[in-house]
Amino acid sequence: MQFISFYTPNPSAHQGPPSKEYMEQMNKLIEESMKSGELVATGGLTPIQQGVRIVQASGKVTITDGPYIESTEIIGGFAILELPSKEAAIESSKRFLKIAGDGQVTIRPLMTEAETCTNAEELIGSR
């Protein structure tokens, strides 16, 4: 199963650039996870000030330049995981948080191609 994992750091716990020790530990975890096949892809996100939110409601599009959300909701990074179960994804996230520190991880299963097609067919059929 594939999962997407979003990391939201605790803003008060993460001040300034990461230490050399932190980067070494995180790079080691990423390298080991990639070699084992557990980690498919990962990445960090630029500061929220560089983001833009595009919303459509009742046919009207609204564009808002960042920052546009509370600092406690800012996603700092993501990972795509290939694991056998939700429980394994939880354990993987706990290993990540041991290094990353205070914050939260949200895990959601990715739909398979068949599920995506089925959902699209259901949406089209309901119109």
0.95 cut: is pTM over it? Answer: no
The per-residue pLDDT for 94 is: 97
Tell me, what's the pLDDT at 66?
79
For residues 34 and 90, what is the distance between their CA atoms, to the nearest angstrom?
A: 17
Q: Residue 5's pLDDT is what?
A: 97
Give yes or no for a contact between 30 and 81, defined as CB atoms under 8 angstroms apart: no
pLDDT of 84 reads: 96
The enclosing H or E element of 78 equals strand 77-82
Q: What is the pLDDT of residue 7?
A: 94
Q: What are the angstrom distances between the C-alpha of 31 and each of 27, 34, 78, 95, 109?
A: 6, 5, 15, 14, 22
Cβ neighbors of 46 (< 8 A, separation 6 or more) are: none
Domains of the chain, first to last: 2-47+74-125 (3.30.70.1060)
**Separation of alpha carbons 21 and 101, rounded Å:** 13
Q: For the chain (length 127 residues), average pLDDT per consecutive 10?
A: 93 78 95 97 87 92 83 85 97 96 94 73 64
